[in-house]
Amino acid sequence: DTEVTQTPKHLVMGMTNKKSLKCEQHMGHRAMYWYKQKAKKPPELMFVYSYEKLSINESVPSRFSPECPNSSLLNLHLHALQPEDSALYLCASSQDLGLITDTQYFGPGTRLTVL
Protein backbone atom coordinates (compact mmCIF):
# COMPACT_ATOMS: atom_id res chain seq x y z
CA ASP A 1 0.00 0.00 0.00
CA THR A 2 1.58 3.27 -1.13
CA GLU A 3 -1.25 5.56 -0.09
CA VAL A 4 -0.87 9.08 1.19
CA THR A 5 -4.15 10.78 2.03
CA GLN A 6 -4.83 14.51 2.17
CA THR A 7 -7.76 16.56 3.40
CA PRO A 8 -9.55 18.59 2.32
CA LYS A 9 -9.53 18.02 -1.45
CA HIS A 10 -10.55 21.60 -2.12
CA LEU A 11 -10.33 24.69 0.07
CA VAL A 12 -11.46 28.25 -0.55
CA MET A 13 -10.37 30.82 2.00
CA GLY A 14 -10.23 34.55 2.45
CA MET A 15 -7.02 36.42 3.14
CA THR A 16 -7.86 36.82 6.83
CA ASN A 17 -8.83 33.20 7.45
CA LYS A 18 -6.86 30.56 9.30
CA LYS A 19 -7.08 27.03 7.93
CA SER A 20 -5.09 23.82 8.03
CA LEU A 21 -4.23 21.15 5.48
CA LYS A 22 -3.80 17.60 6.70
CA CYS A 23 -1.76 14.69 5.41
CA GLU A 24 -1.56 11.11 6.63
CA GLN A 25 0.41 8.01 5.72
CA HIS A 26 0.50 4.55 7.29
CA MET A 27 3.46 3.11 5.42
CA GLY A 28 5.87 3.60 8.30
CA HIS A 29 7.68 6.30 6.34
CA ARG A 30 9.92 8.60 8.39
CA ALA A 31 10.15 11.49 5.94
CA MET A 32 7.26 13.71 4.93
CA TYR A 33 7.11 16.68 2.60
CA TRP A 34 4.99 19.63 1.56
CA TYR A 35 5.07 20.86 -2.03
CA LYS A 36 3.31 23.70 -3.82
CA GLN A 37 2.41 23.31 -7.47
CA LYS A 38 1.12 26.01 -9.80
CA ALA A 39 -0.52 25.20 -13.12
CA LYS A 40 1.84 23.88 -15.81
CA LYS A 41 4.81 23.99 -13.43
CA PRO A 42 6.59 21.20 -11.55
CA PRO A 43 6.10 20.83 -7.79
CA GLU A 44 8.18 23.18 -5.63
CA LEU A 45 9.47 21.85 -2.34
CA MET A 46 8.36 23.80 0.74
CA PHE A 47 9.24 21.71 3.81
CA VAL A 48 10.79 18.37 4.69
CA TYR A 49 10.32 16.53 7.97
CA SER A 50 12.59 13.67 8.89
CA TYR A 51 11.84 11.62 11.99
CA GLU A 52 9.26 14.24 13.01
CA LYS A 53 11.78 17.07 12.97
CA LEU A 54 11.83 19.89 10.45
CA SER A 55 14.80 19.17 8.24
CA ILE A 56 14.36 21.61 5.38
CA ASN A 57 12.48 24.90 5.03
CA GLU A 58 12.89 26.24 1.51
CA SER A 59 12.61 29.88 2.63
CA VAL A 60 8.84 29.63 2.80
CA PRO A 61 6.96 32.72 4.10
CA SER A 62 5.87 32.47 7.72
CA ARG A 63 2.19 32.56 6.73
CA PHE A 64 2.76 28.83 6.05
CA SER A 65 3.47 26.90 9.24
CA PRO A 66 4.14 23.15 9.14
CA GLU A 67 3.58 20.77 12.00
CA CYS A 68 4.33 17.08 12.42
CA PRO A 69 2.31 15.79 15.41
CA ASN A 70 3.55 12.21 14.95
CA SER A 71 5.26 10.01 12.39
CA SER A 72 2.05 9.44 10.42
CA LEU A 73 0.66 12.96 10.30
CA LEU A 74 1.75 16.21 8.72
CA ASN A 75 -0.19 19.47 8.87
CA LEU A 76 0.22 22.77 7.09
CA HIS A 77 -1.30 25.73 8.92
CA LEU A 78 -2.29 28.67 6.76
CA HIS A 79 -2.81 32.24 7.94
CA ALA A 80 -3.14 35.54 6.13
CA LEU A 81 -2.52 34.05 2.71
CA GLN A 82 -2.38 36.02 -0.51
CA PRO A 83 -4.23 35.28 -3.77
CA GLU A 84 -0.92 34.24 -5.36
CA ASP A 85 -0.75 31.39 -2.83
CA SER A 86 -3.59 29.70 -4.69
CA ALA A 87 -2.17 26.39 -5.94
CA LEU A 88 -2.25 22.62 -5.54
CA TYR A 89 -0.59 21.66 -2.26
CA LEU A 90 0.90 18.20 -2.36
CA CYS A 91 2.04 16.08 0.54
CA ALA A 92 4.52 13.26 -0.01
CA SER A 93 6.24 10.68 2.14
CA SER A 94 9.26 8.43 1.79
CA GLN A 95 10.90 5.72 3.81
CA ASP A 96 14.06 7.48 5.00
CA LEU A 97 16.05 10.44 3.65
CA GLY A 98 19.30 8.57 4.22
CA LEU A 99 18.51 5.73 1.79
CA ILE A 100 19.85 6.00 -1.74
CA THR A 101 16.75 4.12 -2.87
CA ASP A 102 14.44 6.50 -0.99
CA THR A 103 11.38 7.17 -3.14
CA GLN A 104 8.61 9.72 -2.61
CA TYR A 105 4.92 8.90 -2.89
CA PHE A 106 2.50 11.75 -3.32
CA GLY A 107 -0.96 12.33 -1.92
CA PRO A 108 -3.79 13.57 -4.16
CA GLY A 109 -3.29 17.16 -3.07
CA THR A 110 -5.44 19.98 -1.76
CA ARG A 111 -6.51 22.55 -4.33
CA LEU A 112 -6.39 25.88 -2.52
CA THR A 113 -8.02 29.07 -3.70
CA VAL A 114 -7.35 32.30 -1.80
CA LEU A 115 -9.85 35.06 -2.46
Partner 1 sequence: RKEVEQDPGPFNVPEGATVAFNCTYSNSASQSFFWYRQDCRKEPKLLMSVYSSGNEDGRFTAQLNRASQYISLLIRDSKLSDSATYLCVVRYSGGSNYKLTFGKGTLLTVNP
- CB nearer to partner 1: give 16 or 40: 40
| Residue 55 sits in the site that holds partner 1 (CB under 8 A) | yes
Q: Which residues in 13-42 contact partner 1 (CB under 8 A)? A: 41-42
In the complex, what is the shortest distance from the CB of residue 16 to partner 1, in angstroms, rounded to a whole number? Answer: 28
Please give the Cα distance from 76 to 18 (Å, whole number): 11
* Residue among 11, 4, 59 at smallest CA distance from 33: 4
Among 52, 63, 80, 108, indicate the residue that binds partner 1 (CB under 8 A): 108
SS3 101: coil
In the complex, what is the shortest distance from the CB of residue 59 to partner 1, in angstroms, rounded to a whole number? Answer: 14
| Beta strands at 64-70 and 73-79: parallel, antiparallel or unpaired | antiparallel
Please give the Cα distance from 40 to 62 (Å, whole number): 25
Query: Given the rule CB under 8 A, which residues bind partner 1?
Result: 2, 41-43, 45, 48, 55-56, 88, 90, 97-98, 100-109, 111
